[in-house]
Structures are given as C-alpha cells and as structure tokens.
Amino acid sequence: MRPLLAWTLAAAAALAAAPAAHPVSPHSNCPRLSGTWYGDNRARLQRVIDERGTCSGATGHTVAVFDWDNTVTKNDVTDATLSWSLRHDGLLRPADWKNTSPWLTDAADRALTEACGTGAPQPLRTSTNARCTDEILDIREKATTTSGAPAFEGTWNYRRTVPQYAWVPQLFAGRTPAELASYARKARTEALAAPIGASRRLGTHTVPAYVRYYDQQRALIRTLQRAGFDVYVVSAGSEPITEVWSRAVGIDPAHTIAIRSLLDREGRITTQNQGCGNAPATRGMVIPYMDGKRCWINQEIYGVKGAAAWQLQPWQQRPALAAGDADTDVTFVGDATGAHLVLNRNKPELMCRAYDDADGRWLINPMFIAPLPRRPDPYPCTTTAYNASDGAKAPLLRDDGSVTPDQRDTAF
C-alpha cells in the first residue's frame, strides 16, 4: 500500500472511532478557568470546557465527576467527622460488635468488646477511653487490632469494597442522618479553623486536625457549572458527611453520591447500605469504591440498570471530565472522555494509568497543599500495580492487552 493511501485510511479510521470535537470559536462565551496549575493543565482543562460545555454550543448531557477526599479537599472529611465523634462520644455502643461488619474477625470482636464494651445503645465514652478509641482507629486505618491481629477476614470483591471503608458508616448505626450531619458540620468548622499542617492526639494516635478546600478545584467546579456541565461528587465516604462539605462548592445532595446507609423504621442508620446495579443492599459488599464508583455513576447519573451498570458505557454516557487521587478512583477517572485529572498521591494503579497516558488525555497535578516528594523508584506497573478482585497484585494491562511499562514519577 502506498504511504499516502495508508495514512489516509488510518486517519479516516481514527476519525470514525473518536467522537468529533466541537469547534471552539475565538469569541467563545465559555468562562475562563483561574488558579495556579501544574504545567499546561489549566490550558488543557480549558480546552475541555470550551469543547464540551454548553457555553460553546455543545449539546447533550455533559457531566463532570469528582472524587471528594484528597481530590477536592486536602485530608479526609469522613475521618475528620469520626475524629470529632470519638472526642465527643458520638458513637453508640453496639449490642454485638460482630454485627457491625460481616467480615469482623473474632480477634477484633474480642478487642473491641474488651476495650469498648457491649450492651444497650448508650454513647461510647471514647472521649475518656483511649483504649477504645485506639482499637477503632487501628481497625479504620490499618485493618488490624492494636495488637496487630487482622480485623477482617472472609471473601469480598476488592474492586467493589474495602471493609474498613464500609465500617465507618456502620459505626454510626443508631444515629440519624441529621445527627451525623450535625457532627460533620461541627467537625468541618473545627477542621477549617485549624492551621494547615496541624495535628492532634486522638487516643494514642496522631491524626490530622485540619482540612482545606483546594482553591483550584473550587474554581474548576465553578467554571464547569457556569459552562453548563452537570457536576457530581462520588465518594467512598459516608453520604451525610460528604453532603455537608460538598454544599460549600455548590454541589447539592442530589449531585453527591457516597455510601448510602439504609435506615430503620425510626429513621436511624443501620449497618446495611444500598446496593448498585444487580447487587442488592448488604452490609458493605458494594460501596462507591473502584469499580463501584463506575456503577454508581452509570446508575445514578445515566440511569443504567442491572448488571450493565458495572460495564463501560458508550462515549455519550460517560463523564467528559473525571478527577481523583487514589486507586479507588482509577476506574471512573479512566472512563472520562475529555480529561482524566489526577492529583498525585503516589497510588500505583492510578499513577501507572496516568503516566502511561494511553489516550493523551491524562493530566497529572501535584497536590495543591503539601505535595508529596518525587517517588524515588518507578511505579511497578509491570508486576504489582493492578488490584485484582480477589486481592492479588498483578501486572497492569492496557486496553489492548499489553503490559503497561513501569513509569517514573515526574509530576511532583
């Protein structure tokens, strides 16, 4: 085949495979993104806004989706609320710790029972009981007891849930969503007032005492909304907590998706949460985590029902822009059709995808507050970067089945 003819056929195939971009008028009415961004990220984000926003004449349901913790804010707002609750006796004592999670081990049950007690649903006196606080924090942070014993065991899909994430909303069983939201508001006021870099003693642990909204992300969300994008949050945190924080960036509860606890007849939180797709309500088997975030986006934003909600959807039924910071975000961020925005927290699967940049649309930005130093060794994309559903670590494959090469950290 002659070179010119081969080039022409290849170009035609590429144009047929990719949706055409909307031409941008030099007099576009689209709002301008502000703020200091790494490299040419602001210009590349602006290009997506100009091409895909209704402000430029684009039609259709144009969606942008953001993870919350450490993507829109510095530090975790669910952890900030748990911290406040432990210091103000906000948790209720369960009748049986085993009922708080289907995977809780006998060792964790014994440790929690000995440290915190069981019985009638009275407030846990964690404000004065450091031993109880420590057990809860170690299980939340490390999935172990303070003695180092595994806190969870059994079988779960590692791309749909992680027991210690699901466990936090379960700890608030017996409280109402309104009570939990009130704790979140108090924690928010406290965390925003604390100086950047502040920490506090909680039990015998040292934990962050501050949270900040990233100014750049607030500006991006505001600009997207003004440009006609439908902006959502999808988080593996507790929904009443995330809603308190998302309101301040102009995202209402209807556009905030997180772990949705089922309520009892009196309107109190239970240890069960809503399912997604063809997965029913359970005690944490499916949450907005990794592949679960794709499911909830497909189901709640695009109306995809049943098992299909777990699958990659056609181009028109995927976000134009998606932003995240961790492996829990890798699936939905990768689904975006215009820009995959990543905040670099050195998470292997996400960073391997981002640095490989298979479609030329991955944007990597260091954290806007206290960015991490450069990772000294390449990301292990060829060996252990992929998180398999059975918990194994495996090579990360591209869409064509080839192995992603190891990647060096260059945006820090």
Domain boundaries of the chain, sorted by first residue = 21-75+213-394, 77-208
Mean pLDDT over each residue of the chain, to the nearest integer: 93
Average pLDDT over residues 183-201: 98
The whole-angstrom separation of Cα 328 and Cα 212 is: 21
Instruction: Write out pLDDT tens, residues 70-92.
Output: 999 999 999 999 999 999 999 99
Residue 134 has pLDDT above 90, yes or no: yes
Three-state SS for 145? Answer: coil
Other residues' Cβ atoms within 10 Å of the Cβ of residue 127: 15
Residue 327 has pLDDT above 50, yes or no: yes
* CB contact set of 85 (below 8 Å; sequence gap of 6+): 91, 126, 172, 183, 187
The whole-angstrom separation of Cα 63 and Cα 296 is: 14
- Position 59 scores a pLDDT of 87
Global confidence as pTM: 0.92
DSSP codes of every residue in 42-76: HHHHHHHHHHHSGGGT--S--EEEE--BTTTEES-
H/E segment holding residue 132: helix 130-142
Q: Tell me how many degrees the CA angle 50-55-53 measures, rounded to the nearest 5.
A: 50
Instruction: Write out pLDDT tens, residues 89-114.
Output: 999 999 999 999 999 999 999 999 99
- Position 304 scores a pLDDT of 98
| Poorest-pLDDT segment among 16-20, 194-198, 234-238, 334-338 | 16-20
- pLDDT tier, 216 (very low <50, low <70, confident <90, very high otherwise): very high
- pLDDT tier, 25 (very low <50, low <70, confident <90, very high otherwise): very low
- pLDDT tier, 13 (very low <50, low <70, confident <90, very high otherwise): very low
Residue 20 has pLDDT above 70, yes or no: no
Give me the amino acid identity at 156: W
Q: Locate tokens 């081969």: which residue?
A: 6
Residue 4 has pLDDT above 70, yes or no: no
Residue 23 has pLDDT above 80, yes or no: no
Q: Is 320 or 121 the better-scoring residue by pLDDT?
A: 320
Residue 3 has pLDDT above 60, yes or no: no
Distances (CA, A) of 379 to 218, 346, 363, 375, 409: 30, 8, 17, 8, 8
The whole-angstrom separation of Cα 119 and Cα 132 is: 15
Percent of the chain whose predicted confidence (pLDDT) is above 90: 91
Residue 43 exposed, middle or buried by CB count within 10 Å (0-12, 13-18, 19+): exposed
Q: Is 60 or 379 the better-scoring residue by pLDDT?
A: 379
Six-digit token string for 307: 């098992």
Residue 187 has pLDDT above 90, yes or no: yes
CATH superfamily of 21-75+213-394: HAD superfamily/HAD-like (3.40.50.1000)
- pLDDT tier, 28 (very low <50, low <70, confident <90, very high otherwise): low
386 and 395 Cβ atoms separated by less than 8 Å = yes
- Position 14 scores a pLDDT of 38
